[in-house]
Amino acid sequence: MAIRIGGGDSPFDFFDRFNKDTEKSLAKLASGKRITSAAEDAAGLGISEQLKKEFASLGQARNNVDYGAAEAQIAEGAMGQQSEIMSRMQELAVQASNGTLSATDRQFIDKEASALASEMNRIANTTEFNGSKVLSTDSGNVTIQSGTKNGQTMNVTYANTTNASLGVSYGAGQAVDFSTAATAQASLANIQAGMATLSSSRAQVGADTNALEVQGRTLAVQRENTEAARSRIADTDYAAETANLAQSQILSQANLAIHAHRNLMSQSALDLLKG
């Protein structure tokens, strides 16, 4: 039987290869990234970077929607207070329309009505969000960037709710005048029209708020799914990579043991030849 001495691959070649595999696995496990360099998966890296940017943009869009909803809730709450004032003004109009009132009675009604009218204007002029007076000087459409693409916007519509805009300015000779029973009766129609306008504006803000809240939830789901997709591409699969690491270490140790055994066999053959 022929005996071959030496030859074959160097054990150091095998060890170097397995060592590189081990280093790659350790790097992935330590960093948590499946793709540690563009050379490993150029396409995967490009896709994961795009998803990373989309994830961040979706987060900002969600913030925009939340800010828009917060502004709308502030405005709607203010209009709710104004609605209560208007209801009280209507009660006073009905009371002032009664011909049995004395001049003193009308003075009392006038004081309360004047204070309520001032409060109506104060609410409209001081309700603001981030410096924007949405129920007076800055009323109108507010555009919310609710997505990550051009044109993905939503509008919230705010009406001017000052007394003059609602047609309920108070005082002698104004749309709302409680100085006599006749003017008080005429004021009832104006107050009711103003209440209808205010209710319609409040309902519009409420509907816009609901739409923003729905969009906020939609963006949250999109953001979660985007991050999950990025993670599947870019993040380390710890179970699989741990198995790869264990395999590399076992193969490396086995290879060294085999080469050690082969060297021992070669030495035994030399000893036989010498003897």
Say whether both 176 and 261 belong to one domain: no
State the pLDDT confidence band at 7, using cuts at 50, 70 and 90: very low
Count of residues making up the chain: 275
pTM (global) more than 0.85 = no
pLDDT at 43: 76
38 domain-assigned:
no
CA distance 77 to 246: 63
Say whether both 139 and 269 belong to one domain: no
Tell me, what CATH number does 125's domain have? 1.20.1330.10
pLDDT at 92: 97
37 domain-assigned:
no
Predicted confidence (pLDDT) per residue in 118-172, tens digit: 999 999 999 999 999 999 999 999 999 999 999 999 999 999 999 999 999 999 9
Strand partners, 155: 143
State the pLDDT confidence band at 6, using cuts at 50, 70 and 90: very low
107 domain-assigned:
yes
Task: Report residue 142 as tokens.
Answer: 């507010």
Taking 80 as the threshold, does the pLDDT of residue 50 lie above it?
Answer: yes
Taking 70 as the threshold, does the pLDDT of residue 215 lie above it?
Answer: yes
DSSP H stretches of helix in the chain = 11-31, 42-96, 103-126, 163-166, 181-234, 238-274
> What is the count of structural domains for the chain?
2
Taking 50 as the threshold, does the pLDDT of residue 101 lie above it?
Answer: yes
2 domain-assigned:
no
Say whether both 97 and 155 belong to one domain: yes
pLDDT at 75: 97
Say whether both 135 and 55 belong to one domain: yes
State the pLDDT confidence band at 52, using cuts at 50, 70 and 90: confident
Say whether both 88 and 26 belong to one domain: no
Q: In this structure, how many other beta carbons lie within 10 angstroms of the beta carbon of residue 7? A: 7
For 246, the domain range is 11-32+237-274
Say whether both 143 and 226 belong to one domain: yes
Write down the mean pLDDT value for the chain. 82
